[in-house]
Amino acid sequence: MIIIANWKLNLTLAEIKSWVLEFNAFSSSYSLNKVTPVICPSFIYVSYLKENLLNAHIGTQDSSEFLEGEYTGEVSAKQLKDYISYSIIGHSERRKNFSETDDIVQKKARLCVEHQITPVICVSALEQAATLKSFRDIIIALEPLENIGSGIPAKPEFIEDTAKKIVDIIPSAKVLYGGSVTAENAKGFSKLKNISGFLVGGESLNPVYFINIIKKCDM
């Protein structure tokens, strides 16, 4: 299972150093059998995690739709490829707050693929998944809007049914679930058909909570 920590716009360097110490103590003494952890900090901290985090992959919360050029403030897949293995693309917060369209999401995802970065493409509706059917071997993160940050996860039946429909559209895709994932519900969700992991938001900010999710899914 792939379990991704999406820190969003949170954690200072001092807080991240403390987080890494806690996680490294766990990951260096606990042999994971089923889980691949991925940590997605703000861009500025990618290099620090690359140098200091043990036994986990690094990802970003976004990647530019542009490759290079006069695009102030952008960070491209070409620049990121030496640091990361995954990149979250099209999160609902970016679609809402930055007006990212399906077309922009596809451009970002294609550049990631071209630079050997696995895109984790977020969708909240099957219509969004349908725009991605030309892709192969990508990760789709199902994030129902009403369950993000609400503390109330989607019903297992809905998750399983929607994941199946996504796989029907993109047979080679792995589907993650995101939306109020905790250690209490992760184990049950991990048993659902066509669910290959989780995109974890708030619970990933505390290393103990995130580690507990990993442990539950690695049993």
Active site residues per annotation: 91, 143
Mean pLDDT of the chain: 96
- Collapsing DSSP to helix, strand or coil, 57 comes out as strand
Please give the residue range of the domain that contains residue 99.
Answer: 2-218
Residue 10 predicted with pLDDT over 90: yes
Q: How many CB atoms lie within 10 A of CB 60?
A: 22
Mean pLDDT, to the nearest integer, of 65-92?
Answer: 98
Number of domains in the chain: 1
pLDDT value for 47: 98
pLDDT in tens, 133-173: 999 989 999 999 887 777 788 999 999 999 999 999 999 99
Mean pLDDT, to the nearest integer, of 162-190?
Answer: 95
Give the span between the Cα atoms of 26 and 83, in whole angstroms: 23
Q: How many CB atoms lie within 10 A of CB 179?
A: 26
**What CATH number is given to the structural domain containing 146?**
3.20.20.70
pLDDT value for 49: 99
Give the span between the Cα atoms of 104 and 168, in whole angstroms: 23
CA distances from 140 to 19, 46, 62, 174, 178 (A): 27, 22, 14, 6, 10
129 φ, ψ to 5°? -65, -35
Q: Which residue has the tokens 């596809």?
A: 106
Confidence of residue 115 (pLDDT cuts 50, 70, 90): very high
Assess contact for 178 and 141: CB atoms under 8 A. yes
Q: Which residue has the tokens 């986990």?
A: 56
